[in-house]
Structure formats: structure tokens, C-alpha cells
Amino acid sequence: MTHTHTERPARATGTGPSPGKDPSDEAPLGASRAERLSALAQQHGALVTLLLVAIGASIGFDTFLTGDNLENMAVSSAFLAIVALGMTFVIITGGIDLSVGSLFALGGVLGAWGSQYGTLVALLLPLAVCGLIGLVNGLLIAKARLAPFIVTLAAMLAARGILLAITDEGSNTYLVDEKSFFASLGQEKLLGVGVPVWITAALFVAGAVMLRRSRFGQYVYAVGGNEDAAALMGAPVARTKIAVYTVSGLCAGLAGALNAAWLVSGVTILGTGMELEAIAAVVIGGTLLTGGFGFISGSLVGVLLLKVIQNVINQIGSLDSAYQQVVSGAFLAVVVIAQTWLGRRRRMM
């Protein structure tokens, strides 16, 4: 996956790049080679790492490049990628959303339950409920000025509670008719590629255009760069925050519904820890946790990198699956340290 010219990272204020400019473009013509290399490493480091890991895996394991393995990785990545898409908007504004894992599970159960009334209900019900919870998150954070960590943590617990209530503590499992159109959204293929992958690709293109080519996208960067300065420039800070948390809730609900279509069942135990995976993918992809800087395609690269690492560990066989979390955590720590170091280095240049 390569970064397109239509989607480049930006920072509204501060020491980072100016809005609408690539970090590598930010360096003046007389900039040193070290400065340009630092900018490129910050933007494309995850992509280079993904290519190196994939090349190593293809050499070390005969089954890595098989069609079935690649198809399984692509489809299983699609659901986390959709969640990470919404999380990217939130983190660029300088926020965090811990509720997406629970909303993902809730969306799956609601989608499976609603499928008995048709595909439209199976899709709209999780979108409405999860979008509403995201809207409430945004209102509490933007209007009541509560901390995103606390608000979304409460939403995470509330969504999980609703999930247990409608499934009678998880004892009821709602199944999806395998012959329904809703199930085909998760299981059918188009041109040899799973439908969830196509849906994810379309969402990422739309998200990239929205972030880079719309006024809303500029507001997202401006709020994350410097909230007070954004307000002085006339940016609707509260409305932007409400919108990004609503988008995050909608993405989590949609991902859950599509996952239910793929599994033809609403599984209550899914989504645990998914919020941390999404945050890790976004940060590994180059988006700063401090806000104001990031790009959509980087988050997709982060998701693919995590999935490839998990696949490699599974193929080794002798390693316990718990090592996936260890490796993912180690990657995240290395990336955050590298981002911090690169940021300080560029400020000193």
C-alpha cells in the first residue's frame, strides 16, 4: 500500500509541517539530507517495515504467499482497519476513543439480530446505536469538556453492558441466515477478493479525500495542532470533535456488522482489546498521539503490519499466540520512541 498524492499529512500549528504540506516538502530547498531523511522515515517507516517483514515471511514460509493465506489476512484485517479509520480522525484531533472495541461487539450482535428483518435493518441498526454512542461521547468531550479517556472508558463499559443485556449475559447467540444478502456482504468475493476488503478500500479512499480535500479535514488537523489557535481562526472546534467521535462510533458499528456477516453470527466475546489494537495501528502508521499530524493510509499500513506479524507468529507454530501481543507492544514502543526522537531531531534542525 502506498500513500497517494491526495492524502498527505499535515500539522496546523507548532513546530511540525504547515497544513497541506508533506513533511518532506516542508524542508526548505537548502535543508540538509538528514532533515529530509528524518521526515521520510516519519512518514514511510511503517511501510518500509511492512515490506521487509513481508519479504522475510515469504522467504521463510512457503505458505505465506498462498492465495488462501493472503485472502484470510486481507479479510481479517478489514474489520480492524475500519475501526482504525475512525480512530485516526479522533487521534489527529488529539483525542482517544476506548469504546470502539465494545461498540464493535455490540454492532455485531445488533447486526446479527437485525438480519432477521432484512439487510437494511442489519446495517442501519448497529450504525444508529453505535453512532449515537459516539455522538454522546463527542458531546460530553466537546461541550462538557470532559477528558476523552474517562468519557470513552465509560462508554466502553456501557456498551458492553448493553451487549450483555440484549444477549442475556451472552447466553443468546443470534445467527445470520447464510443465504441472506447480508451474509453475502461478509462471505462473497468480487474479482477474487472478499467483499469486506472492497468496502474497506472504498471507506479509506473516502476518508482520505475527506481528511485532505475537505474543509472538515482541515478543521481536524487544526483542532489537533492547537485547539485555541483553531478557535481564534474560526474553526468550529466543538462541532469538529463531536463529528470525529461520531465517525469513530459509526466505523466501529459498521465493522461489527460486517464481521457478523462474515461469521454469520453475533459473537459477544469479540472486540476485547480491539481499541488498543486500533490505537497501536494508527500510531505505528505515523499518526502522533499528541494530535495535529497523521494520515489515513498510514493507519492501513499499521493494520497490515500487525496482521502480518500475527500471521508470521502463527506460522512459526512453536510460539504461543500470546507472543503476538508481546511483539505488537514492542513494535508500538519502538515506533513511539522513534517518533519522539525524530520529532526532537527535526525541531533542533
Long-range contacts of 161-170 (CB under 8 A, 24+ apart): 162/106, 163/102, 163/105, 163/106, 163/109, 163/268, 164/268, 166/109, 166/110, 166/113, 167/109, 167/266, 167/268, 170/268, 170/269
Q: Show Cβ contacts of residue 148 under 8 Å, excluding neighbours closer than 6 positions.
A: 90, 95, 96, 97, 137, 141
Separation between Cα atoms, residue 305 and residue 44, nearest integer Å = 13
State the sign of the Cα–Cα–Cα–Cα dihedral 142, 143, 147, 150: negative
Amino acid 172: pLDDT? 79
What is the band of 15 on the pLDDT scale with cuts at 50, 70, 90? very low
Amino acid 349: pLDDT? 61
- Quick one: 122 exposed, middle or buried, by C-beta within 10 A (0-12, 13-18, 19+)? buried
**DSSP secondary structure of 57-71:** HHHH-TTTTSHHHHH
Amino acid 258: pLDDT? 94
pLDDT > 90? residue 340: no
- Helix 119-142, helix 148-166: angle, nearest 10: 150
**DSSP secondary structure of 98-140:** TTHHHHHHHHHHHHHHHGGG-HHHHHHHHHHHHHHHHHHHHHH
Query: Dihedrals φ, ψ of 29, to 5°?
Result: -60, -30
pLDDT > 50? residue 16: no
Contact indicator for 47, 1 with CB cutoff of 8 Å = yes
What is the band of 12 on the pLDDT scale with cuts at 50, 70, 90? very low
- Among the residue ranges 98-112, 145-159, 216-230, 281-295, the one predicted with the least confidence is 281-295
Chain length of the chain: 349
Separation between Cα atoms, residue 294 and residue 302, nearest integer Å = 12
Separation between Cα atoms, residue 78 and residue 260, nearest integer Å = 13
Amino acid identity for residue 124 in this structure: L
Cα separation of the two ends of the chain: 30
pTM: 0.86
If you average pLDDT over residues 270-282, what whole number do you get?
A: 89
Q: Which residue has the higher pLDDT, 271 or 155?
A: 155
- Quick one: 168 exposed, middle or buried, by C-beta within 10 A (0-12, 13-18, 19+)? exposed
Contact indicator for 222, 236 with CB cutoff of 8 Å = no
Show me where the domains of the chain are located. Answer: 61-271+286-296
Q: Tell me the Ramachandran region of residue 287: left when phi exceeds 0, alpha when psi lies from -120 to 50, beta otherwise.
A: beta
Query: Dihedrals φ, ψ of 99, to 5°?
Result: -90, -10
If you average pLDDT over residues 283-309, what whole number do you get?
A: 89
Question: What cell was used for 51?
Answer: 515490506
**DSSP secondary structure of 178-222:** TTSHHHHHHH-EETTEEHHHHHHHHHHHHHHHHHHHSHHHHHHHH
Highest mean pLDDT (candidates 41-50, 59-68, 163-172, 228-237): 228-237
pLDDT > 90? residue 9: no
